[in-house]
Structure 1
Amino acid sequence: MDGDLEFLYIEEPPIEPDYTHNNLTNEADFPELPDADPPQIPQPFYSTNTRNLRSCVSDKTVQYARSSLMNSEELPRMLERWDSPPRRSGGQRPAGARKILLDFAFRCISDVVDTEMKVSAPMFLSPPDKLSETHLTDLDFGEFKNQLKESMPIFWHILRRAAYTAEQETRNKHKNPDMTVLHLISQMQYSRSNRRGRIAKLWSIYLKACGLSARAFDALHALGILMSHKWTAEALETLSDRAMDLVQQLIHLFPFAISHDNMNVPLRVFSQRLHNQSHFISGCAYTVWILPRHAALPANTSQMLQSFRAENCLQVFDFSEVLYGSLEAEDRMEAWDIDHVLHLLLDCPEFLDYPHRTDAQFHHPPPVDQLPGGPENIIQGFVLKTSTFEEASYDGTLNVIDDTFRQLLLNSPDEQKVTGTQRVIAWMGDQLTVERLRGLWKYRHEDHNAFDRLDYMIPVFGWFHLVMAFANSIHKQYLGDSSATGGLRQAFDLLNRKGLITQSTKGPFWHNLDEALHHISEAHFRACWLDVGKIKTVADLKSKSPSELRHLAGEIIRKYASREALNNMEEMDSHDRDGVFQQWTMFNMDVLPYLQLRKAIKAGDIGRIEDLLPTLLFRFAGSGSSKYTIEILELLQGLHREWPPVVRDYIKRFCWLMTRNGEFDGWLPYDLAQEENICDIKVNYRSQGPGATMEYMGKISPAIPALRKIQRHMEKQFGTNSRGARHGVPDKEKDVSMLTANYVASKLHTFVAGVELRTARSPDFLTEGADTLERLNTINDWFKRRTHARATGEDWSEEERQDILLQPLLA
C-alpha cells in the first residue's frame, strides 16, 4: 500500500441484451430469460495503481459520461430497477439492491434531517432572560410555520406526508396538518435541547392560565409538549417580578392613577389542626393604571390645586344651577331619549326589512363630549401584589395606602416629598373605598406636610357601582306586588325571572336586574308606539316615513315619558286623572336616564354623563341613598368649585372611564375593571391546592395581566376566542312580546279619564329628592361636616413626623 490511493475496479460483464430500454415500462414488456445460468460477475479487486484514478478524473470522455449519467432521466429508473428488479416468468423476484438502497437513503435522509434541525434550531431558542409577555406574544404561529417550511423543506415534507395522505390532500377542504407538523418539530427540538422550548413555554403558561392541573403538566412534559410544572410556577413568579419592575419604572415616565378594592377569599385546609384551620380572609387588591402620555398635568398642578382649594373650599357650589338645570342640557337629553325610543322600533323584528333604515332621520345625535378612541388612548393596568390588609376601617385603608407606595418604591423620604408637593394622584374605587379615603383626607388635615395630609390625593368614585345603585333604586321604587300590572314583580313572575325580588350585592343580581329593566322598558315603549300610532301591530308603522316616525318618537317622549306630562296630570281634577297612565308615565321617565347612563358610559360620552348629574343627585336623595347623595355632592363641589380647570378636565377625561382596546364602544368604569382584576385573582387565574396561601396569591398576582394577554393571544392564533370569552345572550323577542301584549291589554299607556290605581302609587323619587335637598338643609349639613381649614406647613423632619404618625388615627 506504499502511500498510493486504493481504487475499486469491477471488470465489465459480457454484453447482454438490453432489457432496460426506455420503451419497456413494465414487467410484461421483458422477454423471458433463458434457462442458462446468468453470467458470473468477477469479484472486485483492489489496486494501488493511481494512474487509472487520475485518468478517470481527468479524462474528458469519462467526465462527460459521468455527468450525463448523473443528470440523465435513466438514472432514477435504474435506481428503481435496482430496488425492484424484474423477475423471471413464474419465478421469484430477485432481491436486488433494495437493502443497500434503503440503508443508503436512510443515511442520506438522516444527514439532511440533522442538518435541517440544526439550521432551524435558533428559531426555537428561548433564553431564560427573555421570558416576558412581549417575547411570548410576539410568536405568530402562521408566520413561524412559513419560516420553518423554508428552513427545513425536506423534513417538513416527510412529516406532512406521514400526517396526511395524498388522498386526504384532494378530499379534505378544511383540515390542515401544518400545526401538527409544527408541534412535532417543536417536540423534537425540545428533546434535543431544553433551550429550544419557545413553543413549549408559550403552551405551558397558556395552559397554566387555563387551569391545567400539575398532574396533567407532568404527563405532557414527559411527551415534550410542555415545560415542567416547576418551571411554569417559577415562570409565573418571574413574570410577576418583571411586571413589578416595569410598573415601578413607568410611574416615573407616565401619569398614573390607583384603585383598590376589598377581596374576600375563602381558604380551606384538608387536615385540621390548631394552627391549620379553614378560614375566610379579607384582603385587598390594588391596580395601577398607566395613563396616556398626553394626560400628563403641568408641573405646578399640585401647588395650583392646593391654593385653588384653599380659596374656594369655604363656599358651596351654586345649587340653583343644579336644581333648575340648563335648557341646552335638557334639549340634549330629550334628543337622546327620542333616539332611544326610535331605535327600539327599528330593532323590532317586524322592522328589519324597513326600506329607509339608513335615512338621516335615524342618525344618532352628536355626542356631547366624547372621549377619543384609538391605540394612543389605551390605558394599561398593572395589578400589584395582593395584601392581607382590609379597607373597611380607616386603619386598614391607611395600611393599604402605605403598602401601595411601598410596592411602587415611593415610600422613601425623598419620594414622599415629591408625591406630597409635585404629584396629583386620582385614587379610585367603590363608594366604601372613596368614603374611607375622603375620611382620611379629612381627619389628617392638620398633619405636618402635604404627604401626611394626603394633599396629593383626589378620591374618585366608580361609575359601575353607581349604576348598580341606580338600578337598585328603580327596583325599590317600582317593585310593587304581583297584582300590579306593569310593575317589576309582575314582570318577573310573567318572565319567570328568579332571584330578583330581594336586592343583593352578590352574585349575578345586578346583571339579571339590568337585563330585566331593558326588556321591561322596551315592552312599555312598544306599547306606547301602538297607542300613539293608533295601530294594533308594530308592523303597521312601516308605512310611515322616517320623518313621521321621528315625530311620533318625540310625541312618545313628551306624552308618555316626561315631567311635562306628569305635571299636566297633576293639574287635572282628581276625577279626570288616569292613575294607571300616570304611574307608568313616571316609570318611563325614570328608566330613561338609567338607560342613557349605560349607553353614555359604553360610548365614552362624558358630556352626557355630566348632564345626568342633577338627575342622579335628586334620585339618590329621594330614594334614601345618602351615601351616593354625598358622592354626587362631592363631585359637583369639585367640578363647580374646588378643582381648577386643568384638574377638572383631567378627572373627567382620564379618571372616569378607561379603555383597553381603543374602540368606539369599548369604554368601561375603572371600578368595573378593578372588579374584573379581582375576578381574575379569585377565579380565572386562581391558585389551587394546599399551597395556595394568601402570600402565594400576592406573589403571582402581578403576572395576571400578562396571563390574560397570553391567553387572548393563543385564542386568537387558534380561533378559539369565541369560546368562553362571554356568555351567549338568548333571544329576547318572546319575552318582550309577551310583556307588550300584557301592557296593551291592560291599557297602561292609553289615557282613560277617571281610572284609579288599585295599588299604592310608586313614590316620585326625583321630586322628593329635590325637596329634600332644597328644604331640609341637606346640602348645608353635608357642607358643614366636610369643611375644615387645612394646614399648609411643610415639615419633613423625621422626628416630628414619627410623633404624629404614632398618635391614634382618630380621636
Structure 2
Amino acid sequence: MAPAQTPLHTSSSSSSLAARLTLNDLPPSSPPRTSPDIETPLPVKRGRDLWDFDIHGTPLDPISTDGPEQSSPVRGTPAERAAINRRKGQKKRNRTLQLQQSLSEGERTQFIDDLLRSLEEKNIVFGDVMLHVFDPQLKRGEVRWRGFFEKPGMATTILNFWVDPSNSSTARAEVRNWAINYCSEVLREEAHIITESRYLQSTGRAVNADFVLDFDIEHISKFLHSSAGASMKLLSSFATSTRQLVNKSVTHAIRKSKVVTFAALSLLGQFSQRNNWSHRVMALYLYASGAQRQVISVMSHIGITESYSHLTSKVRTLLARAKRQPRLLRAPFLPPDTLPPASGFGPYIFDSVETGKPSTPVEGSEPMSLPIDSELLLQKLEEIVSIQYGTLRELSQSMCLASRKLAFTGLFVGAYDNINFLTRTPEQALGHTDVMENGTCATIWKLWNASPDDMKIADLNISFNCAPPLSLDDLLPTPAELALMDKCLIHCLLRILVMHGGPAFTVFQSRLDKTLPVTEDKIKPHKTELHPMPAWNIDESTIIGQDDVVHAIYNELCAQDSPLWSIIAKILAGDQLTIARLRSLANIWAGHEGDFAGFGWGVWILGLFHAKIADAHGFLVTHWGIPNKGTRNPGCLAFHNTVLHRNPIVLTSLPPFRTVCDLIFVSLYACVLHCFLLVSGKQTLAEYADSINGEWDTLVKHAQAVYEQYANGSLVDSLRFLRAVEMASEKPIHPLPGDEIFENAVLFIRDRLITRELADAVKAGDSGRVLLVLKLFAFSFQGNGHTKYAHEMLHLIHNITHVWPKPMRKIVLDNWILFPSGNPNSGVECDLMQEHMNFWIKTFYQAHGSGASWKWLEMIAPCVGILRDLAAAMRETLGTDIGVRHAPVNLSVDIPILMQNLTEFEVYKIRGHQFEPEDGAMVPNVITAGIHALSSGTDNPLDEYNKSFLHLQARRRLQPIIGERIAGPMFVSEGRTMTVDPMEHQEGRTIDGPAVGDESDVLMELVHALEDDNATLPRLSAEDVALDMDLGDSRFVFEMDERDSFDEERINGPQGVDLRVEHYDD
C-alpha cells in the first residue's frame, strides 16, 4: 500500500488522527528504538487566598481570574474618564488574548505529545518522519515549506537546538561535522566562481601601469564580499573575538578587513596558481621598498608574493604545437627578432599552470646538438607560441611601449643626465678592482598646452635667421620688470615672516596668499606624466657621447616612425654641460650636415636645478669669509656655521648641496626676522606681533622698510662710492663712511632673497617670475665667477627674447617646470626630476654582487617611477607611510641664537667697521660686477657671444654638404652687415656675413664646452635631490616667548644717504 499523502499537521484533533493512523499509513522506518515514556506535565498548583472565592464563598477558577481589582476614584473630565476606560478595556482584552494563547499552546503541546506517543507505539522514530518530509524524491515540498520555512527563523532555531550544549556530544559532533563539510563545499564553490571570473588573474593582462596601480585593496575586498560572502564571513569570524564584538572600533575594523582580504588572496592563490595578480603586485611592492631576495623568497613560500625568480626571470619560452595544446594560443605572437637565438631552443620551459609540469628548467640540460638548417629553424619558429618574461621585465617592456606611443605623437620633451656609480669588488685580485661606471639615464614627458603647428622646424629656422644679436638692454630688466621684482622680493620677506615668525603671524596667511604676485606666464595646474627610459652605458660627458645619447634616445623611442619626425622640432633639457655639448654639436655640423645629423632641429632647455646649485656654490664662496677670524666678521657664513655648531665646512672640499642650503636659509631667516625687529623698534617677535594688532598694511610697510634699508644693493654701492672718494682725498676723515660688515650683511639678504624667490617661483610654476630671476643670474654668475652658467643665461635669455618663435617660447615656459603630483604649489625643475630618478636607480634599485650590470639597469630604469608610485600607494592604502627619513631636526633654537648674535654684534648697524687686510675682503656686489663685466671693454663676454651667434647664423644658411637644409628664407639680422666668402659648393653665390672659412669662433665655442665644469656642490643623499626640499623649510618655524629678549637697536640709515630703492641698472 502506498504511503498516505495527507500531511500530518492537517488533523483537527488527536482522537481522529489516532483513529486514522495505522502502521501501513506511515513510511517505512528503522527498527523501533527504546525511548523513555513521555510524561505529561503536571498542572501548576496555585495557592488559594481570600480573593480566590467569590462573595458567595464559591471558589473562583484560578485561570479565569487574578483576584479582585481595585478601582481608582473617579477623576477628570468626561473625556479623560473615557480615555481611562478605553485603556482599561484594552488591557483586559490583551489579558484575555494571552489566556487564550496559553490554552492553545497547552493543547498544541498535548497534541504533539500524543503524536509522539503514537509514533513510539508503532515503532517509528521521529527521524523517519523527518526523512519522509525532507527526502527530495518524495516531493514533499509544500509540507517542508509550510512546516519549516514559512515561519522565518524556525529552521535556524532547530539547528541551534541541535548544537546546544544540552544536546548529547555525539549528536553535536555529527551536526558539527556536517556543517564543516557543507561550509567547505560552499567555500570551494565560491573560490571556483572567483577563479572563473578571472578578476584576480594576470594571464592575458598587460603588466603595465594600470596592472600595478589598479591594485586597490578596498575594491578587491568589495569584490570578494560580493562574490564570496560566506568565505569572507567565516574568515572575519575567525579573526574576531567576543570582546571585539562588544567593543567595536572603526579603525580596528578597517585594519582587520585588510588582513582578512590579504588572507583570502593568499588562499585563493593556493586554490589556483592563476589567481596571482596580488602575488605579482606584492612582489613588486616588496622590491620597490628595498626588500632583498631572501625576504621575497620567504614571502613567496607563505603565499604572499610570487617567487623572486619569477619576479626577475629572463625569457621563458613556451614551445608547443598549437594543435596539441590550443590553450597556449592565448598569448600574442611576437616577431622573430624578439626571439632567443637558435641555440636556445633547448631545453624547453613550460608553464606549470597550463601543463601541470614543473616550470623550473632542468639543470645541466644540453642544447640541441644537431645542426639546424633553414627549414628546421623555420619549423621551430612556427612552434613558438609566445614568449613570457618575469614580472619586472614585462613591466619594463610595457613602460617602454608607453614611451614609444607618446613619442609617436611628437609632442614630448626629453631630459637626460649622467649616472655614475662605483662597482666594488669584495676581494682584490688580478683583474678584479673597483670600477667607476659612467652612463646616462633619460626621461620624457608629454608637452602640455602644445600643438604640432607651434613646433615646426621651418618656423624655428626662420626665427633663428631673423633673430638680432643679444644686447645689454635685453639682459637688463625693464622698469616694469624692476617694479615687479621689487614687489616679489617684498612679498618674499613677508612669506619669511609669516612662515618662520611664529604662530602669531600665521593669521596673515590668507592675506599673504591673496597678494602673491602673478605673471601672465604662470603655468596652469596640471599633472605631468613621466616616462623613464632605459639606462645606457654611454658616457655623455664628451661630445661624441652626447651624439650617441641623442641617437640612443630617439632610436629607443622609434621616433623616426612618426609622420611628424621631420616636421616638428625636438626639445631636450639638461644641465649646463649637457646643453653646452648639444650646442657644440650644432655648431660643428652647421653647414656640413643636414637633416637629423645637423642638429638644427633642436630646442635646448637649461635645467633650473643646476642653476640653483651654481648659485648656492657662488653664494657660499662669496659670503663665506675667513673662519678663524671669529667676531671680527660676525656677518659671514663661517661665523654663523660656528655659532650653530654645525659640521666644519672647507671650501676646498665642498659639502653636499642640502647642507649648504640649510645653512644659508637658516641664516637668511634669522637676518630677515632681526631686521623686522629693527624697523619696528621691538625687542621680541611676540611684542612685534602684539604691536601689529592684525593690521596687514602695517606689516607691508615694515617689509618695504626692510627691503629698502637692509636688502638694497644700491645702498651698498653708494656707501662704497663715498668711502672710495674719501680715501682718494688728500685728508680722508676717520672713521671712513660706511661699514663693511653692514654692507656685506645687506648683500647677504639681497642675494639670498633672489634665490628664495626663484625657489618659490618654481614651486608656484610661475615662469614669468623665474625669468626675472634668471636675468639677474646672468649678471650674478658673471660676478661670482660662474662664467659658464653666465654664458648659458645669455643663450637662454636670447632664445626666449629673439631666437625662438613666440609659440615655441610659450611651449618652453609651460614645460620646463613639471608637476608630477598634479597638486598646486608643487612645481619641480625638469633636471631635478632626472637627478631624482638617477639617485633611486643607482642607490636603491641597482643590483648588487654579480647581478650588477648595465643590462639590469637598462631593464629596471623604466620601472623606477611606477615602482615608487606603487610603494606610495601601498603605504597610503595600508596606512603605514612612515617614510624613509628621520624626523626633522628641531631648529627652534637655531634662529633665535643667530638673531641674538646679530643684535649683540650690531651687524645691521653702521658703526664704521673696516676690515683689516687679514680679516677678509669685502663681499662684492656680484650683480653690479656682472653688469660691468658684460658692458665694459671690447672683448667682453657679451660681444664674444654675439660674434659666435652671427657666425652660426651664417653657417646655418649654407647648403649642407650631406643631407638637406631645413627650408626657410635666409633673412639677415637687422643692424648688421655680414659678408661670407664664396664656398666651392656654392659658386657664384654670396651671402652677407662673417667669413665662413674662419673657424675661430667654432673653436672658441668648443673650448668653452670642453673645459672642465666649474666645481659644484655634490648630491650624495636623497635630501640633496628631494622633490620637496623647498617645501621642507617649514621645519624652521619656531616659537618665541617673552624670555627671548634682545637689545633694542633700530637703524634709520646714515645721514645724507638716500635710502630709496635704487635699481640694478644704475
TM over 0.5: yes
Cα distance in 1 for residues equivalent to 2:756 and 2:134:
96
C-alpha displacement of 1:664: 1.8
Task: Specify the alignment match of 2:790 in structure 1.
Answer: 629
Q: Does structure 1 conserve the Cα–Cα contact (< 8 Å) formed by 2:675 and 2:706?
A: yes
Q: Does structure 1 conserve the Cα–Cα contact (< 8 Å) formed by 2:713 and 2:925?
A: no
Q: 1:653 aligns with which of 810, 814, 838?
A: 814
Q: 2:39 aligns with which of 12, 17, 21?
A: 17
Task: Specify the alignment match of 2:584 in structure 1.
Answer: 439
Task: Specify the alignment match of 1:35 in structure 2.
Answer: none
C-alpha displacement of 1:581: 2.0
**1:207–1:8 distance in 2 versus 1, CA, 3 Å:** farther
C-alpha displacement of 1:278: 3.6
**2:476 is aligned with 1:317:** no
**1:100–1:392 distance in 2 versus 1, CA, 3 Å:** same
Task: Specify the alignment match of 2:732 in structure 1.
Answer: none
Question: Which piece of structure 1 moves more, 738-747 or 555-564?
Answer: 555-564
Matches within 5 A, 1:113-512: 113-121=187-195, 122=197, 123-171=199-247, 173=249, 174-176=251-253, 177-233=256-312, 234-253=390-409, 255-270=411-426, 277-292=433-448, 294-298=449-453, 301-312=456-467, 315-323=468-476, 325-350=477-502, 352-353=503-504, 357=508, 360=511, 363-374=514-525, 377-410=526-559, 419=565, 421-482=566-627, 483=630, 484-502=633-651, 509-512=656-659
**1:514–1:503 distance in 2 versus 1, CA, 3 Å:** farther
Cα distance in 2 for residues equivalent to 1:18 and 1:515:
94
Q: Does structure 1 conserve the Cα–Cα contact (< 8 Å) formed by 2:534 and 2:858?
A: yes
Secondary structure (helix, strand or coil) at the match of 1:134 reads helix
Cα distance in 2 for residues equivalent to 1:56 and 1:455:
89
Secondary structure (helix, strand or coil) at the match of 1:196 reads coil
Q: Does structure 1 conserve the Cα–Cα contact (< 8 Å) formed by 2:32 and 2:124?
A: no
**1:295–1:40 distance in 2 versus 1, CA, 3 Å:** same
**1:277–1:346 distance in 2 versus 1, CA, 3 Å:** closer
Cα distance in 2 for residues equivalent to 1:258 and 1:547:
46
Can you list the C-alpha shifts for 1:67-112, whole angstroms capped at 9, x where unaligned? Answer: 32455666555545544575xxxxxx85442232122212221222
Q: Does structure 1 conserve the Cα–Cα contact (< 8 Å) formed by 2:413 and 2:445?
A: yes
**2:687 is aligned with 1:543:** no
**2:892 is aligned with 1:733:** yes
C-alpha displacement of 1:40: 11
Question: Which piece of structure 1 moves more, 353-362 or 197-206?
Answer: 353-362
**1:20–1:151 distance in 2 versus 1, CA, 3 Å:** farther
Please tell me the root mean square deviation across aligned C-alpha atoms, in Å: 3.4
AA aligned opposite 1:762? V
Secondary structure (helix, strand or coil) at the match of 2:438 reads strand
Task: Specify the alignment match of 1:720 in structure 2.
Answer: 880
Larger RCO, structures 1/2 (Cα 8 Å, 6+ apart): 1
C-alpha displacement of 1:366: 2.5
Q: Does structure 2 conserve the Cα–Cα contact (< 8 Å) formed by 1:427 and 1:457?
A: yes
Q: Does structure 2 conserve the Cα–Cα contact (< 8 Å) formed by 1:133 and 1:706?
A: yes
Secondary structure (helix, strand or coil) at the match of 2:422 reads strand
Task: Specify the alignment match of 1:790 in structure 2.
Answer: 956
**1:108–1:359 distance in 2 versus 1, CA, 3 Å:** closer
**1:104–1:333 distance in 2 versus 1, CA, 3 Å:** same
Cα distance in 1 for residues equivalent to 2:763 and 2:875:
25
**1:179–1:668 distance in 2 versus 1, CA, 3 Å:** same
AA aligned opposite 1:309? F
**1:696–1:316 distance in 2 versus 1, CA, 3 Å:** same
Can you list the C-alpha shifts for 1:161-191, whole angstroms capped at 9, x where unaligned? Answer: 1111121232352323211211111111100
AA aligned opposite 2:504? D
Q: 2:667 aligns with which of 520, 524, 532?
A: 520
**Unaligned 5+ residue runs, structure 1?**
1-5, 25-38, 87-92, 799-808
C-alpha displacement of 1:442: 0.6
C-alpha displacement of 1:301: 1.9
C-alpha displacement of 1:502: 2.3
C-alpha displacement of 1:361: 7.4
Task: Specify the alignment match of 2:5 in structure 1.
Answer: none
**1:531–1:76 distance in 2 versus 1, CA, 3 Å:** closer
Q: Does structure 2 conserve the Cα–Cα contact (< 8 Å) formed by 1:450 and 1:792?
A: no
C-alpha displacement of 1:493: 0.8
Q: 2:709 aligns with which of 537, 544, 559?
A: 559
Q: Does structure 2 conserve the Cα–Cα contact (< 8 Å) formed by 1:342 and 1:553?
A: yes
C-alpha displacement of 1:577: 2.4
**1:228–1:20 distance in 2 versus 1, CA, 3 Å:** farther
C-alpha displacement of 1:792: 4.7
Q: Flag the structure with larger Rg.
A: 2
Cα distance in 2 for residues equivalent to 1:609 and 1:52:
87
Cα distance in 1 for residues equivalent to 2:40 and 2:866:
72
Q: Does structure 1 conserve the Cα–Cα contact (< 8 Å) formed by 2:674 and 2:902?
A: yes
**2:779 is aligned with 1:618:** yes
Cα distance in 1 for residues equivalent to 2:406 and 2:840:
23
Cα distance in 2 for residues equivalent to 1:370 and 1:147:
47
Cα distance in 2 for residues equivalent to 1:83 and 1:322:
91
AA aligned opposite 2:252? K
Task: Specify the alignment match of 2:853 in structure 1.
Answer: 693
AA aligned opposite 1:756? Q
C-alpha displacement of 1:282: 0.8
Cα distance in 1 for residues equivalent to 2:424 and 2:227:
52
Can you list the C-alpha shifts for 1:257-304, whole angstroms capped at 9, x where unaligned? Answer: 111111112223456665654422111112222223x31241672101
Can you list the C-alpha shifts for 1:375-434, whole angstroms capped at 9, x where unaligned? Answer: xx32222222211110111111111112112211236xx77x964x41211211111111
AA aligned opposite 2:707? I
AA aligned opposite 2:401? D
Instruction: State TM-score, norm by structure 1.
Output: 0.86
Q: Does structure 2 conserve the Cα–Cα contact (< 8 Å) formed by 1:369 and 1:608?
A: no
**1:591–1:300 distance in 2 versus 1, CA, 3 Å:** closer
Q: Does structure 2 conserve the Cα–Cα contact (< 8 Å) formed by 1:339 and 1:362?
A: no
C-alpha displacement of 1:571: 5.1
Task: Specify the alignment match of 1:805 in structure 2.
Answer: none
C-alpha displacement of 1:756: 2.7
AA aligned opposite 1:245? L
Matches within 5 A, 1:742-757: 742-752=901-911, 754-757=912-915
Cα distance in 1 for residues equivalent to 2:42 and 2:472:
108
Percent identity of the aligned residues?
A: 20
Cα distance in 1 for residues equivalent to 2:235 and 2:510:
58
Can you list the C-alpha shifts for 1:727-760, whole angstroms capped at 9, x where unaligned? Answer: 54333331011000100111111233x3434532
Instruction: State TM-score, norm by structure 2.
Output: 0.66
Cα distance in 1 for residues equivalent to 2:751 and 2:759:
14
Cα distance in 2 for residues equivalent to 1:779 and 1:522:
35
Secondary structure (helix, strand or coil) at the match of 1:756 reads coil
**Unaligned 5+ residue runs, structure 2?**
1-25, 44-100, 106-119, 313-389, 727-735, 965-1001, 1007-1066
Secondary structure (helix, strand or coil) at the match of 1:589 reads helix
Q: Does structure 1 conserve the Cα–Cα contact (< 8 Å) formed by 2:593 and 2:963?
A: no
Q: Does structure 1 conserve the Cα–Cα contact (< 8 Å) formed by 2:616 and 2:660?
A: yes
